[in-house]
Structure 1
Amino acid sequence: MHFYKIACDNKEYLACESIGYIYSEGFWLMQNHKKAIEYYKKACEYNKGRCEKLAWQYEKIDDFKNAIKAYEISCDAKNNNACLRLGIMYENGENIEQDINMAKKYYSLTCRYKGGITCDKLEMLNQQEIIK
């Protein structure tokens, strides 16, 4: 932990993430979600694409408003996993008002960044809209 903290203080986002994970899961130390968020926030500050970890931690404590904000920051930094999670949340109305257009927006970004199954999901939503 000592060396992780030194690295994190020197803006090494992976070190900050590691500390956040240790606190989040309670490895070696007592589980502490507040401390986990503190370190995930630092990682997010140092690398916007890594805000997904912060969002994930917010979801664990049912703070979905902040989770969505963190996912949006990470998605804007081209983190396809964050975009995918937002798409799923909007499609299913998971802790956010269901909005198929927003789901398609985020699936489209994920498709653009990575391709694969998300492109199929986007096509399926577009087909459902045509059928209606």
Structure 2
Amino acid sequence: MKNFIKVIISGSLFLLLGCSSDKTLSLVDNEQVCNNKNFKGCDTAANYYMKKKEYQKAVTYAKIGCNNNKAKSCEVLGKAYLDGKQVKKNLNKGLKFLEKSCTIGDGYVGCHDLAVRYSIIGFGIQKDYVKSSKYFKIACEKGLYAEACYYLAFNYEYGRGMQKNDGLSVYYYRKALDFYKKECKNDFNGCKNVGEMYQDGKGVSKDLKKALEYYHIGCEKNDGTSCFKIGMMYQFAKTYDQTQGYLIEDAAKAKEYYLQACDNKYILGCETFAKLNK
């Protein structure tokens, strides 16, 4: 009877692993899901091992997943070939797999990674703002990806790879701002980015009060960069605030926030605090 129950349990587990993949499953479970040909588990395993820098395992699961049209697996495999992680560096293969990731339904991160690589010198790929704008647009509109929307707006603002268009620039900056505000609820980077957009007047009127408000939220979430930016605003209030009259220079507050930045492992905060304390 006990053996019969074991068989039933084992069979049920096999069916579960063969039919589902979920982030709540353990890594071992996701590996079994992948090996049992429910390929979403390959995405999870490949992404996990890539983040852990266990590239051999990452590539193994990424190949299985990508061969079965899983976007995250193709993204991981593309990055592995572009960066020479566990496979021989091959730019053409890397771009091919990232493009495949981008064309699959939920592959917006692959689109964004392509866009970044076409925007920046140093990846061994010729800079191409036309292609970078194309992929930023896909990532922004398909993936609701804040950073992609921001850089697409930047390209429209300065005519990089496209004709300058102030209207579309504002539209995509505002789209990025909306996404960053949503991110701010759970991620301090979103708060910092909202603060920067209000400080710089990207897609919105320059508003130092709102900028400071979001920097404070980020700083309270232990983001050293946000704390540092508050310190800068208090130290250089006259420079930052030449028209609104909202900021007042306050050396004591500046030092307070530089120290908080330092406590949150932002090195420039430590260096600036030390200089002011001489």
TM-score, normalising length: structure 1: 0.65
How far apart, CA to CA, are the structure 2 residues paired with 1:98 and 1:107? 15
How far apart, CA to CA, are the structure 2 residues paired with 1:82 and 1:60? 21
Match of 1:58 in 2: 153
How far apart, CA to CA, are the structure 2 residues paired with 1:107 and 1:84? 6
CA deviation profile, 1:36-92 (whole Å, cap 9, x unmatched): 3333225633xxxx4123212311321134213213303422354443243233235
Match of 1:86 among 194, 198, 213: 194
1:31 aligns to 2:129 (yes or no): yes
How far apart, CA to CA, are the structure 2 residues paired with 1:125 and 1:12? 39
Higher helix share: 1
Match of 2:210 among 102, 105, 111: 102
Contact 2:188 2:223 in 1 (8 A): no
Question: What's the offset of the Cα at 1:2?
Answer: 2.8
Cα RMSD over matched residues?
Answer: 3.6
1:119 aligns to 2:227 (yes or no): yes
SS in 2 for 1:97: coil
How far apart, CA to CA, are the structure 1 residues paired with 2:218 and 2:147? 14
Contact 1:93 1:99 in 2 (8 A): yes
Q: What is the aligned residue count?
A: 128
Pair 1:88–1:13, CA change in 2 (3 A): same
How far apart, CA to CA, are the structure 1 residues paired with 2:188 and 2:212? 14
Q: State the AA in 1 paired with 2:114.
A: I
SS in 2 for 1:11: coil
Q: Which range moved further: 97-106 or 77-86? A: 77-86
How far apart, CA to CA, are the structure 2 residues paired with 1:60 and 1:72? 19
1:76 aligns to 2:182 (yes or no): yes
Q: State the AA in 2 paired with 1:21.
A: V
How far apart, CA to CA, are the structure 2 residues paired with 1:22 and 1:130? 39
Contact 1:41 1:51 in 2 (8 A): yes
TM-score, normalising length: structure 2: 0.36
Q: State the AA in 1 paired with 2:170.
A: F
1:13 aligns to 2:108 (yes or no): yes
Question: What's the offset of the Cα at 1:35?
Answer: 1.0
Pair 1:43–1:111, CA change in 2 (3 A): farther
Contact 1:75 1:82 in 2 (8 A): yes
Q: Which range moved further: 19-28 or 112-121? A: 19-28
- Structure 2 residue runs of 5 or longer lacking an equivalent are 1-94, 158-168, 238-245, 250-278
SS in 2 for 1:4: helix
- Structure 1 residue runs of 5 or longer lacking an equivalent are none
CA deviation profile, 1:9-54 (whole Å, cap 9, x unmatched): 1423331212222454594585315413333225633xxxx41232
